[in-house]
């Protein structure tokens, strides 16, 4: 466990401790980071291209000048007041006054939104706006981070979800490379964990039971007889507190929540945090941290589905994948690891060299049958607890490439085998079989019941940390 090193945001306040990779410092107070929080009706303005925003400003100004000219014309007309025209004139004046009122309102509104029209990014590369209302009346927020190259990550405090991530192809064209929904409602009823923060325990725990310090704990079961991704109401289905943060030149959002003792059956009050940072090196950093007041287990996981073509009508079968792993954790019928660490050499699970995902996915193989494709945890070569390259993903059609780095011992590669065209999502697209894939850095599934697997136990006074870095680039 690392020592916490306080940092300040320039005004003397201590705001942050060192991250898991021990890199840099960050200011987490909102006042340190200027944000553009807009009323819902105006929030759309911030997303207009800069040129268009300037055009809108010009229209408002020209309209104002025109109204002044018109007003003075009618004022002059008053000097020629003729009995018969009096009535007409008073109507015109009334209309004129109303018009002036409207004009002034427009001008003041224009001035109020001026900073945003002139460019939200100039007040900091984070835009925060309303995303919709929860059934209980709470307002979910949407945060958009933009980096120097135009990459754009959008997040929400509901489920600490990565809503979208826009990255360029080899022609510089931006497209969203994640699966998900257009509105809050989609995420509320989702069972796919698109882009979500999964917890307390990502992946499966057999029969929802484990023993810790001689005591048996029973968790909510939501995957047949097993516990999956934190249970019925996991971390993906709750509200998180959000704080805008900045580290170096990178803008980010830190989501925090306290999971009460006993939530979904887990012991201990767990204070959890997940920080997303979009750097100018075209990296999205996802950093998890947790502490507890009683011995417990924890395995927080980021669950984005990737489709680097940027068009979820395409499958991910032509993507080329490399996994820095020589062993696989074979599973039983319920996708629970058997405990064996099996070499991948000579099997369809060998991704030590980049290979097309579709090349061997339908091979005659018992493990592929059990997963209906790839749905397994690989044992990463790097077991040092330090961040290292774990996977590379490349889409030859668009040129988009993603390197994935982590300090975790395992990576779950799930080839979207449960996507079946029933989920209607972003842009009205129905996600078909294998149109998205997950690369989830994590501890091994069912670790609490496998004494030989690296421990997932967290005790009071200890700090759980997990770093995942997604680095984007293009190949010509
Ligand atoms: C699991 C799959 C599961 C999917 C959605 C993945 O992490 O490996 O088995 O279907 O999440 O829940």
Query: Interior CA angle at 330 toward 326 and 331, to 5°?
Result: 155
Active-site annotation holder among 166, 264, 283, 440: 440
Burial of 87 (0-12, 13-18, 19+ CB in 10 A): exposed
pLDDT at 219: 98
235 lines ligand 1 (CB under 6 A): no
d(Cα 299, Cα 466) in Å, to the nearest integer? Answer: 9
Tracing tokens 């990737």 back to the chain, one arrives at: 306
Instruction: List the structure tokens of 462.
Output: 């200890």
Say if residue 52's pLDDT is above 80. no
240 lines ligand 1 (CB under 6 A): no
Indicate which atom in ligand 1 lies nearest the CA of residue 198: 7
**Is 402:393 a contact under the CB 8 Å cutoff?**
yes
Q: What is the pTM of this model?
A: 0.78
Q: Give the H/E segment covering residue 210.
A: strand 209-212
d(Cα 409, Cα 442) in Å, to the nearest integer? Answer: 7
- Short-list 34, 31, 37, CA closest to 15: 31
- Short-list 207, 176, 181, CA closest to 196: 181
Nearest CA to ligand 1 atom 10: 418
Indicate which atom in ligand 1 lies nearest the CA of residue 301: 7
pLDDT at 40: 44
Tell me if residue 440 is catalytic. yes
Query: Interior CA angle at 70 toward 65 and 74, to 5°?
Result: 150
d(Cα 411, Cα 196) in Å, to the nearest integer? Answer: 16
DSSP tag of 201:
B
Three-state DSSP class for residue 31: helix
d(Cα 179, Cα 187) in Å, to the nearest integer? Answer: 11
Indicate which atom in ligand 1 lies nearest the CA of residue 203: 7
Lay out the sheet containing 26-27: strands in order across: 26-27, 241-247, 250-259, 270-278, 283-292, 464-474, 400-406, 388-394, 320-323, 355-356
166 lines ligand 1 (CB under 6 A): no
pLDDT at 423: 83
Nearest CA to ligand 1 atom 12: 192
DSSP tag of 299:
B
Active-site annotation holder among 303, 327, 376, 443: 303
How much of the chain is in helix, strand and coil states, percent to nearest 5? Answer: 25, 35, 40
Query: pLDDT tens digits for 344-400?
Result: 999 999 999 999 999 999 999 999 999 999 999 999 999 999 999 999 999 999 999
Q: Which pLDDT band holds residue 125 (cuts at 50, 70, 90)?
A: confident
Q: Is the dihedral of CA 94, 99, 100, 102 positive or negative?
A: positive
Which residue did the predictor score with more confidence, 145 or 17? 145
Tell me if residue 18 is catalytic. no
> How close is the Cα of 61 to the center of ligand 1, in Å?
54
Average pLDDT over residues 457-469: 98
What average pLDDT does the structure give for the chain?
Answer: 83
DSSP tag of 143:
E
d(Cα 184, Cα 156) in Å, to the nearest integer? Answer: 9
Say if residue 438's pLDDT is above 90. yes
Say if residue 292's pLDDT is above 90. yes
375 lines ligand 1 (CB under 6 A): yes
Instruction: List the structure tokens of 445.
Output: 């599934």
- Short-list 413, 411, 406, 449, CA closest to 434: 413
Q: Over the range 249-284, which residues count as b (16 or more CB within 10 Å of their CB) and which as e? A: ebbbbbbbbebeeebbbbbbbbebbbbbbbbebbbb
d(Cα 149, Cα 306) in Å, to the nearest integer? Answer: 20
d(Cα 314, Cα 175) in Å, to the nearest integer? Answer: 13
Say if residue 199's pLDDT is above 60. yes
Residue partners of 106: CB distance under 8 A and separation at least 6: 60, 63, 64
Q: Give the H/E segment covering residue 115.
A: helix 86-117
The CA-atom distances, in angstroms, between 24 and each of 18, 105, 146, 343 are: 7, 46, 20, 38
201 lines ligand 1 (CB under 6 A): no
Average pLDDT over residues 170-195: 97
Neighbouring C-beta atoms of residue 331, cutoff 10 Å: 21
414 lines ligand 1 (CB under 6 A): yes
> How close is the Cα of 423 to the center of ligand 1, in Å?
15
- Short-list 338, 468, 333, CA closest to 410: 468
Q: Which pLDDT band holds residue 61 (cuts at 50, 70, 90)?
A: low
Polymer length in residues for the chain: 476
Indicate which atom in ligand 1 lies nearest the CA of residue 414: 8
pLDDT > 90 fraction of the chain, expressed in percent and rounded: 73
d(Cα 108, Cα 31) in Å, to the nearest integer? Answer: 26
The CA-atom distances, in angstroms, between 91 and each of 13, 67, 68, 73, 94 are: 61, 17, 18, 15, 5
Q: Which pLDDT band holds residue 51 (cuts at 50, 70, 90)?
A: low
| DSSP string of 45-89, one letter each residue | GGGS-HHHHHHHHHHHHHHHHHHHHHHHHHHHHHHT--GGGHHHH
């Amino acid at each position: 466990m690392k020592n916490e090193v306080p940092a300040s945001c320039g005004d003397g306040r201590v705001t942050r401790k060192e991250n898991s990779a021990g890199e840099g410092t960050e200011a987490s107070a909102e006042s340190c980071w200027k944000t553009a929080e807009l009323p819902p009706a105006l929030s759309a303005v911030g997303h207009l291209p800069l040129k268009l925003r300037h055009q809108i400003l010009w229209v408002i100004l020209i309209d104002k000048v025109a109204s002044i000219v018109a007003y003075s014309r009618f004022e002059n007309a008053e000097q020629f007041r003729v009995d018969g025209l009096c009535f007409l004139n008073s109507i015109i004046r009334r209309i004129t006054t109303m018009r002036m009122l409207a004009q002034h309102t427009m001008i003041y509104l224009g001035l109020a939104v001026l900073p945003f029209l002139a460019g939200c990014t100039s007040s900091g590369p984070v835009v925060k706006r309303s995303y919709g209302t929860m059934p209980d009346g709470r307002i979910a927020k949407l945060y958009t981070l933009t980096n120097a190259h135009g990459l754009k990550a959008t997040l929400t405090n509901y489920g600490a979800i990565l809503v979208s991530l826009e990255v360029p192809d080899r022609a510089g064209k931006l497209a969203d490379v994640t699966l998900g929904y257009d509105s809050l409602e989609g995420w509320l009823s989702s069972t796919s964990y698109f882009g979500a923060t999964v917890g307390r325990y990502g992946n499966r725990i057999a029969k929802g039971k484990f023993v810790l310090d001689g005591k048996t704990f029973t968790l909510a079961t939501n995957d047949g007889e097993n516990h999956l991704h934190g249970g019925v109401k996991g971390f993906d289905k709750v509200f998180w507190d959000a704080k805008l943060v900045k580290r170096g030149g990178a803008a980010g959002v830190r989501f925090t929540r306290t999971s009460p003792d006993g939530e979904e059956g887990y012991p201990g009050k767990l204070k959890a945090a997940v920080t997303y940072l979009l750097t100018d090196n075209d990296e999205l950093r996802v950093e998890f941290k947790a502490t507890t007041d009683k011995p417990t287990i924890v395995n927080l996981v980021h669950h984005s589905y990737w489709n680097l073509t940027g068009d979820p009508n395409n499958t991910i079968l032509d993507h080329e994948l490399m996994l820095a792993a020589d062993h696989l954790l074979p599973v039983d019928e319920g996708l629970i690891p058997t405990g064996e660490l099996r070499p991948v050499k000579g099997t369809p699970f060998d991704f030590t060299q980049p290979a097309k995902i579709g090349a061997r996915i339908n091979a005659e193989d018992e493990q592929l049958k059990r997963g209906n494709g790839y749905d397994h945890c690989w044992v990463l070569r790097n077991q040092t607890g330090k961040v290292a390259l774990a996977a590379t993903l490349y889409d030859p059609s668009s040129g988009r490439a993603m390197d994935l780095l982590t300090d975790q011992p395992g990576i779950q590669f799930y080839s979207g085998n449960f996507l079946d065209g029933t989920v209607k999502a972003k842009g009205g697209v129905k996600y078909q079989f294998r149109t998205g894939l997950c690369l989830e850095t994590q501890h091994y599934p069912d670790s609490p019941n496998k004494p030989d697997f690296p421990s997932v136990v967290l005790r009071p006074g200890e700090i759980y940390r997990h770093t995942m870095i997604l680095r984007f680039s293009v190949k010509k």
